[in-house]
Chain A
Amino acid sequence: MATLVGGITTSHVPAIGRAIARDLQGDPYFKPFFDGFPPVHAWLDRVKPDVAVVLYNDHGLNFFLDKMPTFAVGAASEYRNADEGWGIPVVPPFRGELDLSWHLIESLIGEDFDLTTCQEMLVDHAFTLPMALLWPGRAAWPVTTVPVCINTVQFPLPSARRCWQLGQAIGRAIQSWNTDKRVVVVGTGGLSHQLDGERAGFINKDFDLKFMDSLVDDPTWATRYSITDLVELTGTQGVELLMWLATRGTLSAAVRKVHANYHIPISNTAAGLMVLENAL
């Protein structure tokens, strides 16, 4: 069976893409963020994943309001990035992992998750920037991928509880995939931030740090909150912590924190990073 090597959660702010494009990783504004990644690179060198299942939220590249799936799973041999309208460079395409895509689809629908399946799918910055952070400066991506998109655009959003359950089901599916491949789960988004309204610029450091701690020892802590609670506590885009929660859900009850970083701000966002692996 496949080996689930662990989970990585990271922010996916577009400004990160601008910084990478301009080689600003060492700039004083960006350095505290990019300095979080060398330990993750070392961990990836050690655990050597073949496949990345990427849990992210599309921001209006692949999905528009004409068709807005709550949960969508990619089942394509290749995923391309494209112009999102505000000008970060388009990255090279990603190879799909079709066998895992269909195994995930069959397993998740078998567990009563009513998915949308996508044999064509563009992936936006929420997918591409974390990949560029985890595997920087590569001519080709060293892993194949399965994108899993969670709606955070149009309310009602799936609840924290449901995203946790989705993560658990994804974890079970990976563990039952009949292969010798090694799989890492990547969850992108957050942490606290709000782009829209008079409350733009809202950040909640106390909540973010409590949330990050909870993922280690008390992983269902955030499932007590409704989506409206989470918007109030973390901002309208802070709800992207749903992808962190789902990623944590893929792992076992006991995890080991390999690495964490937290920095305010990157653009309007409290930028977080965590690496967790199963303790047993």
Chain B
Amino acid sequence: MTATREIPGTTLFDGTQARKGYALNKMCYSFNAAPNREAFKADEEGYCSKFGLNDAQRQAIRERNVLKLIAAGGNVYYLAKFAGIFGLDVQDLGAQQTGMTKDQFKAKLLAAGRN
């Protein structure tokens, strides 16, 4: 098997990540429920404490920084629920992670269809 092979710009959500990110992902999973999204907005730090996030996870949440959230063990499917609180979609996430504006990121995708 080639599970340890590196793919540039890609983090496989394996056991290592799943262990590291459990609290963060559990918090983000809770955002399926609207009352939990409201509770987070009302008291972000308190909400993070309730789920036991570590310092790196809290900092990444404060910064809304997707790459740091992934490095801290976040899985993109749960992080998308966090992003949803701010009305951000996966193209906003893609733009942020690739250092592009959203329009640039969309243009990159359109270009992929023309190649």
Chain A positions within 8 Å of B, measured between CB atoms, are: 14-15, 59-61, 64-66, 82-87, 153-156, 194-201, 203, 205, 226-229, 231-232, 236, 263-265, 267-268, 270
What is the chain A residue whose CB lies nearest that of B113?
Answer: A264
Residue pair A196, B76 in contact (C-beta under 8 Å): yes
Residue pair A59, B77 in contact (C-beta under 8 Å): yes
Residue pair A203, B12 in contact (C-beta under 8 Å): no
Residue pair A199, B7 in contact (C-beta under 8 Å): yes
Shortest C-beta distance, A184 to chain B (Å), equals 27
Residue pair B89, A226 in contact (C-beta under 8 Å): no
Q: In whole angstroms, how far apart are the Cα atoms of A149 and B45 in the complex?
A: 35
Q: In whole angstroms, how far apart are the Cα atoms of A82 and B29 in the complex?
A: 13
Chain B facing A: main interface SS: helix
Chain B residues in 8 Å Cβ range of A84: 32, 81, 84
Residue pair A203, B93 in contact (C-beta under 8 Å): no
Chain B residues in 8 Å Cβ range of A65: 18, 22, 25-26, 29, 75
Chain B residues in 8 Å Cβ range of A196: 10-11, 66, 70, 76, 79, 93, 97
Given contacts A60-B32, A265-B109, A268-B109, contact A199 B8 (CB under 8 A): yes
Q: In whole angstroms, how far apart are the Cα atoms of A15 and B94 in the complex?
A: 14
Q: Which of B12-57 contact A (CB under 8 A)?
A: 12-15, 18, 22, 25-26, 28-29, 31-34, 37
Q: In whole angstroms, how far apart are the Cα atoms of A59 and B15 in the complex?
A: 17
